[in-house]
Amino acid sequence: MPGFAALASHWWKPVLFIILAGHVTNVCVTLFLHRSQTHRGVTFSKVAEVPMRIWLWLSTSIVTKEWVACHRKHHAFADREGDPHSPLLEGLRNIIIKGAFYYRKAIKQPGMLEKYGKGTTNDWLEQHVLARLPWLGIVLMLGIDIYLFGFFIGPLVWGVQMLWIPFWAAGIINGVGHALGYRNFNVKDESRNISPIAIWLGGEELHNNHHADPHSAKFKARWYEFDVGWAYIRVLQWLRLAKVMYARA
């Protein structure tokens, strides 16, 4: 086990940690919250699922039912009145900068969780720890970061981690993903594929593909596209830790 502030000895160590930890967070969001809990395209064994849930608790404080409800409503009203976070309605800059604000506003709407959050995981861990004490996870993450990087760099690393999902998911995917990019499918909303090589955001860059077939666990739709989230699912499937319920051909 590394000693106190052991990873603060070189500037590149906290930078590498942020990049790797951020990618893990993105992958947990797309695999567990999005493809599994929201759209039921894939299910995971507890061996794979529980670590993803705990990491999301530590790195984001996201409550599963709240995230799922918000995203399902987004699909129900994509880019029209009722969409919790459409750049066409709220403006691209507002979604990028204040995407998390729109998320918090949406989940506070009366009946929101009951209508759109049905069927999400509700075991002992969720009831007594993850959903009941969401603030505790990010406090523990702060302690971990301070131990790894010290009293000065640790809080800076933690701050970037706390801004990671509000920026990349609530801002970039929900904003840029409905404003800029290319389209494979002429769906009713304005969803766009940000990049055909979808690695940085776990595959979420292929946003138009997803809106064309929301229940598919695979976001790739053209031969030249690469969905790293699907690659991870295939590895977990080979390890018998994932079961694909539906994936586009």
Query: pLDDT tens across 166-224, in order?
Result: 999 988 999 999 999 999 999 999 999 999 999 999 999 999 999 999 999 999 999 99
Q: What is the pLDDT of residue 138?
A: 98
The answer to whether the beta carbons of residues 103 and 70 sit under 8 Å apart is yes
* Backbone phi and psi for residue 187, each to the nearest 5 degrees, phi listed first: -80, 170
pTM: 0.95
Residue 165 within a domain: yes
Residue 63 within a domain: yes
Token duo for residue 189: 């909303």
Q: What is the pLDDT of residue 2?
A: 77
Q: What is the pLDDT of residue 226?
A: 98
Structurally, how many domains does the chain consist of? 1
Tell me which residue range forms the domain holding 137: 6-244
pLDDT class of 20 with cuts at 50, 70, 90: very high
Nearest to 34 by CA among 46, 42, 24, 45: 42
Low-confidence winner among 7-11, 129-133, 147-151 (lowest mean pLDDT):
7-11
Token duo for residue 48: 């794979």
Residue 106 within a domain: yes
Residue 249 within a domain: no
Mean pLDDT for the stretch of residues 129-141: 98
Residue 99 within a domain: yes
Q: What is the pLDDT of residue 11?
A: 94
Residue 111 within a domain: yes
Residue 1 within a domain: no
Mean pLDDT for the stretch of residues 35-53: 98
Mean pLDDT over all residues of the chain?
Answer: 96
- pLDDT beyond 90 at 3: no
The answer to whether the beta carbons of residues 208 and 190 sit under 8 Å apart is no
Q: By CB neighbour count within 10 A (0-12 exposed, 13-18 middle, 19+ buried), where does 237 fall?
A: middle
- C-alpha distance from residue 202 to each of 17, 121, 181, 220, 222 (Å): 17, 22, 17, 12, 17
Percent of the chain with pLDDT over 70: 100
Mean pLDDT for the stretch of residues 110-124: 96
Pairing state between β 197-198 and 242-244? unpaired
* Angle CA 64–90–79, to nearest 5: 70
- pLDDT beyond 80 at 149: yes
Mean pLDDT for the stretch of residues 17-46: 98
d(CA 187, CA 190): 7
DSSP 54-74: HHHHHHT---HHHHHHHHHHH
- pLDDT beyond 90 at 99: no
Residue 157 within a domain: yes
